[in-house]
Amino acid sequence: MTMLDVKRNLTTMTDFYELTMSAGYLDEGYEDKIAVFDMFFRRVPDGGGYAIMAGLQQFIEAVDNLKFTDEDVAYLRSTGVFDERFLSYLANFQLHCNIWAIEEGMPIFPQEPIVTVEGPAIECQLLETLLLVTFNHQCLIATKANRIVRAAAGRPVMEFGARRAQGYDAAYYGARASYIGGCGSTSCVMAARDFGIPASGTMAHSWVQMFPSEYEAFKKYAEMYPDACVLLVDTYNVLRHGVPDAIRVFDEVLKPMGKRPKGIRIDSGDIAYLSKKARKMLDEAGYPDCTICASNSLDEYLVRDLILQGARVDSFGIGENMITAKSDPVFGGVYKLAAVKEEDGSYTPKMKLSESAEKVTIPCLKKVWRIYDEDGKAMADLITMADEKVETQHGITLFDPIETWKECTYVHCTARCLSTPIYENGKRVYESPSLDDIKKFCKAQVNTLWDEVKRFENPHRYYVDLSQKLWDTRSALLKKLSK
């Protein structure tokens, strides 16, 4: 992390209504009123079976740096909307919240709280926008990247999207999120520098065009970078010029140096056809170890189809379809009030009604548990009240929260609490793992999911169930509210 990031102050990355509401809470004497808010999402992008949690480290950095500057306060004063008491509250803002989150890299599912904030209502409200934009963005990209990486079935995937990203942060944090999701490298220098992601990239068509001929362009490149020689072979014609020119340069420049070529890249045309032909030419020329990289508007479906068609592609460069999650570019995480603490210390559960059962929120301060079977496979998630403990030594019976007759009993299972304390009374109690550890954790946890959940289309719906106690509380409140 550079100094620049440490200094970047994202406190005003907030919606104006968070401030008008907060000023109202302060004026009403609600400054000590404790509320509980959950972030959750209702639908996995692209109709997938699970999403990937990402963005926690950036959220922590932003929260650690929360501060309304004199400039911010002066600006807010200039709007004429706020009184001096509130402006002074902001100038002296300090966090007192408890925050729990599911760790980065973990597969996550609809309805379950992935972040929970408990604290003074004003503080909960001031965090809302910052929290949502951070997780919504990185979860979106990590989830998309994980789909593409799975489609590539072990072949390295390189993130190439910076130029088509929705702004600098989308390129920067998008590179981080795609690395968590399983990409092996990024083309974005800033992300590589700050996150320690391997940087990748060799040449553009302009390199080839800048020289008198493709052969001379390749020759220069091989001389400059004999250990990392990947040649872009489609500027003029892949099979007639590109591959023959590459082979000639491998022979003339690399062979005398005792070096092996690293690869060729094909960025246009029919990748299945061209890669098979190019493979044959490279093999016959004595370069069976020269890899072929493909990079032309690919996504998980094209990658899967290319592999199914026997394309001889060893690695993929993925641009706009991943960095914008083009096919479904919004991770619809929301942040909803779940409870309010009363003066006697008890919690009044809060929920929002809706016409459709799936949109009714889950009230109370809660925890999320994952149930693994004896082989370590994830069977279901269980949402409980925060004060419940999940015991599994005698097996556990879960039921669907909507179709309650659907029951399932698991024996020989273990339960892991996913809700991890991040802040306690405004003090950070969590240290983010290294990005490489997050990436490994993601891979290991995705491996605990059944293949049925990992299907691209129409996957098996993973169970996210409620404890009996939580279900009872929710049903009672539902009955009361709908009257």
Site for its own copies in 301-330 (CB under 8 A): 320, 324-326, 329-330
Tokens of 138: 């990185």
Strands lying side by side in the sheet with 230-232: 185-186, 157-159, 315-318, 291-294, 263-266, 230-232
Binding to its own copies (CB under 8 A): which residues in 10-69?
10, 12-21, 23-25, 27-28, 30, 33, 35, 37
Q: For residues 254-273, which are near its own copies according to CB under 8 A?
A: 268
> Is residue 203 part of the contact set for its own copies (CB under 8 A)?
yes
**How far is CA 29 from each of CA 91, 93, 122, 230, 349, rounded to the nearest angstrom?**
18, 16, 11, 65, 21
Which of residues 82 and 399 has its CB atom nearest to its own copies in the complex? 82
Pick 81 or 476: Cβ nearer its own copies: 81
C-alpha 190: how far from chain center: 18
Which C-beta is closer to its own copies: that of 366 or that of 454? 366
Whole-angstrom Cα distance, residue 249 to residue 274? 20
Tell me how far, at minimum, the Cβ of 172 lies from its own copies, in Å. Answer: 7
Q: Which stretch binds its own copies (CB under 8 A): 132-140, 281-289, 405-413, 471-479?
A: 132-140
Looking at beta carbons only, is 88 or 166 nearer to its own copies?
166
User: How many Cα atoms within 13 Å fall on the side-chain side of residue 328?
Assistant: 19
Interface with its own copies, residue 108, by CB under 8 A? no
**Which stretch of DSSP H or E encloses residue 430?**
none
d(CA 361, CA 5): 35
429 contributes a contact to its own copies by CB under 8 A: no
* 110 near its own copies, judged by CB under 8 A: no
Which among 94-102, 188-196, 247-255, 438-446 is the span making contact with its own copies, rule CB under 8 A? 188-196
Beta partners for residue 99, in sequence order:
117, 423
Q: Order of strands across the sheet with 420-424?
A: 347-349, 334-341, 34-40, 115-120, 98-101, 420-424, 427-428
Supply the DSSP symbol for 170. Answer: H
Which one-letter DSSP state was computed for residue 434? P
Q: Cβ 198 to its own copies, closest distance in Å?
A: 9
By CB under 8 A, the residues from 67 to 106 that bind its own copies are 71-72, 75-76, 79, 81
Of 110, 226, 244, 332, the one binding its own copies (CB under 8 A) is 332
What is the torsion angle, in degrees rounded to the nearest 10, for the CA atoms of residue 312, residue 314, residue 316 and residue 317? -110
Sort strands 291-294 and 263-266 into parallel, antiparallel or unpaired: parallel
Binding status of residue 2 toward its own copies by CB under 8 A: yes
101 φ, ψ (degrees, to nearest 5): -150, 155
Of 381-400, binders to its own copies (CB under 8 A) are: none
Binds its own copies by CB under 8 A, chosen from 236, 301, 450, 471: 236
Query: Judged by CB under 8 A, does residue 228 bind its own copies?
Result: yes
Q: Is the dihedral of CA 128, 134, 137, 139 positive or negative?
A: negative
Minimum Å gap between C-beta 266 and its own copies is: 15
**Position 235 contacts its own copies (CB under 8 A):** yes
Tell the smallest beta-carbon distance from residue 422 to its own copies (Å).
20
